[in-house]
Amino acid sequence: MSTRMSPDPAVSTAEPAPRVAIVMGSDSDWPTMRAAHEALAEFGIGAEVDVVSAHRMPEDMVEFGRSADRRGLRVIIAGAGGAAHLPGMLAALTPLPVIGVPVPLKHLDGMDSLLSIVQMPAGVPVATVSIGGARNAGLLAARILGAADDAEGVRLREKMVQFQGELRDMAYAKGA
């Protein structure tokens, strides 16, 4: 595998076989992408984190995409900036759901990243969140895992309902 990231120890969760991968085109994307890791950690979901560049390590990207399912991953969160081909290429390589995070760079305010990720051809879906919206990517991954009809799915749905209640309280608190 390619370069290994070192997730922030404060949010790192040790799980033997993570079901979510957070990958990005460069370690310079981590300040944006770490919000996905933090959101997953809030739901007790471990994630592997790695740099897999579509343009600078294409063979690694193909290997990652082809092996993700058999390695036990169930959701891939992929972030990239500029000509952001990583999420779409991974969606072409794996049957797993791919959530794309447009990473804003200094030019074009992330519009280039957004359009590169969101304008996928029919048949190759990428669930694209907002520019810099890595937190929502993590929460969406939690919802996808929470759709399962097993004990973990029930746990995640209950946790999500609790979280939604907290959001409601926060909306009221802003006017207090």
Annotated binding site for substrate: 26, 29, 56
Binder of ligand RP5 out of 52, 53, 65, 126 (CB under 6 A)? 53
Residue 29 in the binding site for ligand RP5 (CB under 6 A): yes
Residue 25 in the binding site for ligand RP5 (CB under 6 A): yes
Helix, strand, coil percent content, the chain, rounded in steps of 5: 45, 15, 40
Q: Which two tokens stand for residue 50?
A: 């790695």
Residue 3 in the binding site for ligand RP5 (CB under 6 A): no
Number of H helices, E strands in the chain: 6, 5
Q: Which two tokens stand for residue 42?
A: 């809030």
Give the number of residues in contact with ligand RP5, rule: CB under 6 A: 12
Q: Which stretch binds ligand RP5 (CB under 6 A): 24-32, 65-73, 130-138, 148-156?
A: 24-32
Residue 128 in the binding site for ligand RP5 (CB under 6 A): no
DSSP state letters, 17-37: S-SEEEEES-GGGHHHHHHHH
Q: Write the binding mask 80 to 119 for ligand RP5: x where contact by CB under 6 A, - elsewhere.
A: xxx--------------------x-x--------------
- β-sheet bridge partners, residue 127: 99
Largest CA distance in the chain: 54
Residues forming contacts to ligand RP5 in the complex (CB under 6 A) are 24-26, 28-29, 53, 55, 80-82, 103, 105
